[in-house]
A = this chain, B = another copy of it.
Amino acid sequence: MNGLMQEKPLLISSLLEHAERYSAKVEVVSRRVEGDVHRYTWADAAKRSRQLAMALDDMDLPAGSRVASIAWNGYRHLELYYGVSGSQRVLHTINPRLHASQVAWVLQHAEDDVVFFDASFVELVRTLQPLVPRIRHWVLLGDQVAVERINDMPAVVSYEGLLAKHSGEYTWPQFDELAASSLCYTSGTTGNPKGALYSHRSTVLHSMVLSTPSALSIGPQDVVMPVVPMFHVNGWGTPYCAAMAGCKLVLPGPALDGQSVYELIEEEGVTLALGVPTVWQMLLDHVDARKGTFSSLKKTTIGGAACSSSMQKHFEDQYGVEVIHAWGMTETSPLGTTSSLMAEHLSLSREEQQQLRLKQGRPVFGIDLRIVDDLGAAQPWNGQNCGHLQVKGHWVISSYFKDDCNQRLDDGWFATGDVATLDANAYLQLTDRSKDVVKSGGEWLSTIDIENIAMSHPAVALAAALGVPHPKWGERPIVVVAKRQGSAVTREELLGLYQGKLEKWQTPDDVVFVDNIPLGATGKMLKTELRKQLVNYVLPGTVESPVR
């Protein structure tokens, strides 16, 4: 027997309709590629998204067609989020930091028919055009004047020109909520990129739970600024949450330097900003240098890489901005865990609370976690035992797009490739990437611990822990360090940092200084590249130890 409730699919267009209907005058503010600040309202965003949907209809793109974007965070990209998905097409957000050949590969793989791109990426598009002849339409996210500036590319049309042809009198189609809505490729450090194909249902459910206090707590009084790019797992879902809450949304465009981000936060009264540690370090450096304060910013969500204790204290103790540490992946939409405290922790000291909140946090409703050993046996939740982290839930992928090998799920669980502990309250702590694991004397070591301790030294810009073969222990860790410009630190000083923090056997045997640690397109360290650089390294006291 079914309930007698109204039947209505969970569609992305309904988020925008909600914002348009009930928060029509609330602003969406964007720093544009052109450099100026653009402001309009959710009502404007809704109308233009409908105009876009009509333009896509005109391009003869059937339901399910893939439409690519190569764009920064801005109002036109927002319109693509709603106009493409809302009209039952699939928005494929592309990371422009990938090499042109990789971009061409994902355009081919996704079978995109159209590419919408910011003026910043004209040169990339010039390279792509001969590589991907299947693309029928190249649309510059600008007006006709901007198109004329690049008049040697005749195949390009202007976004504003397309929209201007349509009234916006359009009703969002109603369809099955399981329909695909957007596509995002992981920039794997090995092998070809793999695509996560989100559905309307998974996206809307993710938005609902992301908005709760168990996660980011986004409400109508917030002013939300995703500094995380909209090509990274849908800007972590915030462009959807903002519409759902009917709150002001601030999009920083390409200007992610400390000064630009800071000015936008202060001028627009941002209360919640989201980003990766690298960008936040630029912001903090800028605010430190000008002895500024944050007058509106209450919270910052940090994900993409672990937040260091020093960054947490910098935001919280110096500037009164609460850090919400979060963990997720492209394959998890991305929300997996957030480091919110439970009621029982409110009596802890601030220091203890901060320590706890440096963990990746607890799973939100809709996500399940477990840790298993190499044989798949569940490991205890005691904060000590490590295991391969597996995840399942409403917004976790079942398989990759056009992936023949359907072996990704282990009894319904997605293997994250992370190694982690869980404690009795289900606080997750990542200790490693599975492929980066160092095993010494039969025990897993945490390379992340080793890296975080090294990075707590002010002279260290970046640190990478690697395993090297050892005749007795099988493997021993070393730490590879890139120093900050103009800073100095010795091997002995760094090794001294580990005393009292890690056991002797968990402490690296050596420190290797390098000029740079190679980074991938999403800012993650490329340890495979690093290992190639260190091919001639020999661990002191051993005969020959090629790093693995």
Instruction: List, in ascending order, chain B residues with CB within 8 A of A209's CB.
Output: 208
Taking CB atoms, residues of chain B closer than 8 Å to A346 are: 221
Chain A residues bordering chain B, tally (CB within 8 A):
80
Tell me the residues in window 379-427 of chain A with beta carbons closer than 8 Å to chain B beta carbons: 392-401, 409, 412, 414, 424-426
Contact of A211 with B by CB under 8 A: yes
With A22-B426, A179-B1, A362-B22 known to touch, is A213 a contact of B205 (CB < 8 Å)?
no
Q: Measured between C-beta atoms, what is the minimum distance from A490 to chain B in Å?
A: 44
B179–A341 CB distance below 8 A: no
* Beta-carbon contact of B220 and A342 below 8 Å: yes
Q: Taking the complex as formed, is A545 at the interface, i.e. its CB lies under 8 A from any CB of chain B?
A: no
Report how many copies the assembly holds: 2
CB-defined contacts of A344 to chain B, threshold 8 Å: 26
Partner of A214, one of B15, B199, B219: B219
Which B residues lie within 8 Å of A64 (CB)?
Answer: 1
Chain A 343-374, CB within 8 Å of chain B: the 1/0 string? 11010000000000000001101001000000
- CB of B341 within 8 A of CB of A220, answer yes
B426→A21 contact, CB < 8 A: yes
Once the chains are docked, how many angstroms separate the CA of A342 from the CA of B244? 13
Instruction: Give chain A's interface residues, CB within 8 Å of chain B.
Output: 1-8, 10, 14-15, 18, 21-26, 63-64, 90, 176, 178-181, 196-202, 205, 208-209, 211-214, 217-223, 244-248, 269, 333, 340-344, 346, 362-363, 365, 368, 392-401, 409, 412, 414, 424-426
Sorted nearest first, the 4 A-B pairs with minimum C-beta distance are: A3-B199, A213-B219, A1-B64, A22-B426
List 12 interface pairs A-B (beta carbons < 8 Å), by A numbering: A1-B63, A1-B179, A2-B178, A3-B197, A5-B394, A5-B397, A8-B392, A10-B205, A211-B212, A214-B220, A223-B343, A247-B342
Give 16 A-B pairs besides A205-B208, A214-B245, A217-B217 with Cβ atoms closer than 8 angstroms: A2-B178, A3-B178, A3-B181, A4-B196, A4-B197, A4-B398, A5-B202, A5-B398, A6-B396, A23-B426, A208-B208, A208-B365, A212-B219, A213-B222, A220-B362, A248-B343
